[in-house]
Amino acid sequence: QLIEKQVRTQLREQFDTTLPRFDLMAQLERNPDGLKMNELSRRMMVTGGNVTGITDQLVAEGLVERVEVEGDRRAYCVRLTTAGRTLFNDMAGQHERWIVAAFEALSSREVASLHKLLGKVKQHHHNTLELA
């Protein structure tokens, strides 16, 4: 949470953007052909309304575009524009530097231990959800 808060602040200060906008652009960067809105919403684990609002902003800024889906007049895909891809790559590079800086006080052995421990927490959480 501490690192996420710092990332949110840095995204706002350096790029005048938010973490959900960054996350949406990251999903699109991984899927150059675009994603349907419902798929984007599922991958981001947020409501469709939130995704639509963020998408509307990014379309207005020329960072993403809506493309009709062939054979389905009601559906469309969203994909990064060239400008969106360029901006995202700048943000992603900075994001990586922020994360590296956040963990630079740890040795490689400590990072490996942290990774292993977080994996245990994640697996336990997953198992608990399956039982519920």
Predicted confidence at residue 93, as pLDDT, reads 94
- Does the structure show a pLDDT above 80 at 46? no
CB–CB of 38/48 below 8 Å? yes
Number of domains in the chain: 1
Residue with tokens 């245990």: 120
Q: What phi and psi values does residue 29 have, to the nearest 5 degrees?
A: -65, -35
pLDDT digits (tens, 9 = 90+) for 10-21: 999 999 999 899
Judge whether residue 127 has pLDDT over 80: no
Residue 53 in domain: yes
pLDDT tens, residue by residue, 53-93: 999 999 999 999 999 888 877 888 999 999 999 999 999 99
Q: Is 121 part of a structural domain of the chain?
A: no
Whole-prediction pTM: 0.79
Assign residue 90 the CATH number of its domain: 1.10.10.10
3-state SS assignment for residue 17: coil
